[in-house]
Structures are given as structure tokens and as C-alpha cells.
Amino acid sequence: MSTSIRFDAIYYDAFALAAQPELWTQEIFEKLTPWLKTGGNLTTYCSKGYVKRNLKAAGFTVQKHPGPGYKREVLRAIRN
């Protein structure tokens, strides 16, 4: 899928890494990167090391933040 629109944010709420690992690869994040404006954010509840490494490899700066409710941490990935 392609779009010429650039977004400020993507809320990435894919199924859990264990259930659908193909949604958490570097290649998927590289496909999402052009959809974001420079400085745009991809936010997800998944904070596993594998996901952080793939986001970084796709060109994002990754930050951990406190999560809401029972969720200890969330990730914010900023497009460079």
C-alpha cells in the first residue's frame, strides 16, 4: 500500500510479538517509515528488546516511557 500523505503519528497496535512475529520486523518498520513526517512518532505498547532493535535498525530513535494502567512501559519511536 502506498500513500502520498505524511502522518504525525502512528499508533501501532498489532497483535503480540509471540502471536504474529512477522508484524514486528525491521522490514515492516521500514515500510511504515515513509508514511511519517520527519519527527513523527510511532507508538506501541510492545517494549520487547527485539522490537526496539528492529525500530532502531529501521532508522527510528527509540524511547521508553511509563505505560498506562497495568502496562509497565510503552515505546515511542521517532522518525529521523
What would the pLDDT profile of 59-71 be if each residue is shown by its tens digit?
A: 999 999 999 988 8
pTM above 0.85, yes or no: yes
Cα 34 to Cα 20: distance, rounded to the nearest angstrom: 23
Domain parsing of the chain, residue ranges: 12-62
β-partners of residue 29 are: none
18-48 pLDDT per residue, tens: 999 999 999 999 999 999 999 999 999 999 9
- Residues 71, 34, 5, 10, Cα dihedral to 10°: 0
Residue-level pLDDT at 1: 64
CA–CA gap between residue 34 and residue 38 (Å, rounded): 9
Closest CA to 33 of 8, 58, 12: 58
Which grid cell is 13?
497496535
Q: Which helix (H) or strand (E) holds 37?
A: strand 36-44
